[in-house]
Amino acid sequence: MAAIGSPELLIVLGGDATSAEIDHVVARLEEAGVDARVTRGREATVIGAIGDRELLATLPLEGYPGVEQVLPILKPYRLVARELAPDPTVIEARGRRIGDSSFGLIAGPCSVESREQTLATARAVADAGATMLRGGAFKPRTSPYTFQGLGLEALEILREAREETGLPIVTELMDPRHVEEVVETADVIQIGARNSQNFLLLSEVGRAEKPVLLKRGLSSSVEELLMAAEYVAKEGNDRIILCERGIKTFETSTRFTLDLGAVAVLKNETHLPVIVDPSHAAGRRDLVLPLARAAAAVGADGIIVETHPQPEEALSDGPQQIPTSEFAAFAAEVTAIVSLMGKEIG
Ligand code: PEP
Ligand code: MN
């Protein structure tokens, strides 16, 4: 997808519209100096018309053969809006899928701490059926005095883990100065909660040729999350996975308050896949499984979970990491709910 502006109108044709009908609408729009973005789905074909609203109003769009509806876009988010794509977006990395009927099981340590710790975790999660390996190389820590990540050395270790297990790598990009290295290694680029509204970073990954896992900010509304995704999509990258990871509320019994209602809302509002991070929301390992099950049941397209061979020795987020020895049992419990929802681990 090339960099584009945002559509003002959606022109909806039936699922049985012919290529000639679609081409005809596109040709009329282009003649009038309006760009068209065509999304073909099973039920409908949607053409986003990108151009001046007043100029668009002069075109007899409703009268063109095959056109069923012409809808103005009223919401602030456009490219990520459900209306723009009739079918759910499926994100694929190295043959693993997230979205529609494919549930992503992303697992791995909070931080890449050593070669041994990362490879041991990668093997354990691969054996347990995980679909992607997570691991932080650059860590956004609240305290500047705590472990900040191994940086570039960690990227090298992640590449080795991928080579051995075949699992695609999900790792966080924090600093625009590391775009090249992180984008080269990552199969999915994570944007963390604290950078969720770092608009320069969002535009940067919008120009990358890799999918983006965008976490909800600690204090972001659903609309702010969707607008953050819009920043990425506007630059031409519409391979985005949204992630609910808990928000700040008055409640202190969990580390953050997991907003499962937001997952249900997002599934209505956007065609993008939505996953849940039960680990950071819970902050303690005994709650990770119930929250993960609930995520699958509410309709999430996947989860991202932290696991470590020896959580008590972890350099970050020890209390919430599941021991790798327990990960297979955890995965089996989540898979049971995934199956009930009519989905498969992707
Ligand atoms: C993480 O995934 O390790 C992380 C730091 O998550 P978040 O940005 O959601 O806090
Ligand atoms: Mn963490």
Residue 95 pLDDT: 97
Pocket perturbation via mutation, ligand 1, pick of 277, 305, 317 by most ligand atoms within 8 A of CB = 277
- Residue 227 clears pLDDT 70, i.e. is over it: yes
Q: What's the Cα-to-Cα distance from 226 to each of 189, 201, 276, 303, rounded to whole Å?
A: 17, 15, 15, 19
Going by C-alpha positions, the residue among 161, 170, 127 that lies closest to residue 330 is 127
Residue 178 pLDDT: 96
Q: Residues 332-346: pLDDT tens digits?
A: 999 999 999 999 999
- Residue 114 clears pLDDT 80, i.e. is over it: yes
- Residue 51 clears pLDDT 90, i.e. is over it: no
Pocket perturbation via mutation, ligand 1, pick of 172, 219, 241 by most ligand atoms within 8 A of CB = 172
Name the more confident of 101 and 50.
101
Spatial separation of the C-alpha atoms in residues 201 and 232, rounded to whole Å? 9
Residue nearest to atom 4 of ligand 1 (CA): 192
Residue 5 pLDDT: 65
Average pLDDT of the residues in 180-207? 98
**Mean pLDDT lowest for which of 74-78, 199-203, 213-217?**
74-78
CA of 110 to the centre of ligand 2 (A): 4
Give the model's confidence band at 1: pLDDT under 50 very low, under 70 low, under 90 confident, else very high: very low
Between β-strands 67-72 and 9-14, what pairing exists: parallel, antiparallel or unpaired?
A: antiparallel
**Mean pLDDT lowest for which of 2-16, 54-68, 102-116, 125-139?**
2-16
Average pLDDT of the residues in 86-102? 96
CA of 279 to the centre of ligand 2 (A): 8
CA of 204 to the centre of ligand 2 (A): 23
- Residue 303 clears pLDDT 50, i.e. is over it: yes
Pocket perturbation via mutation, ligand 1, pick of 150, 189, 259, 280 by most ligand atoms within 8 A of CB = 280
Residue 120 pLDDT: 98
The DSSP result for 169-198, as a single string, is EEEE---GGGHHHHHHH-SEEEE-GGGTT-
Give the residues surrounding ligand 1 with Cβ less than 6 Å away.
Answer: 110, 136, 140, 192-194, 215, 245, 277, 280
Name the more confident of 157 and 53.
157
- Residue 6 clears pLDDT 80, i.e. is over it: no
Alpha helices in the chain (DSSP H): 19-31, 53-57, 115-127, 152-165, 179-185, 199-206, 222-234, 260-269, 278-282, 288-298, 327-340
- Residue 15 clears pLDDT 50, i.e. is over it: yes
CA of 198 to the centre of ligand 1 (A): 15
Residue 205 pLDDT: 98
Q: Residues 130-151: pLDDT tens digits?
A: 999 999 999 999 999 999 999 9
Spatial separation of the C-alpha atoms in residues 236 and 224, rounded to whole Å? 19
Q: Is the pTM of this model over 0.95?
A: no
Residue 3 pLDDT: 40
The DSSP result for 258-273, as a single string, is --HHHHHHHHHHBSS-
- Residue 2 clears pLDDT 60, i.e. is over it: no
Q: Look-up: residue for tokens 């199969």?
A: 187
Q: What is the rounded average pLDDT for all residues in the chain?
A: 95
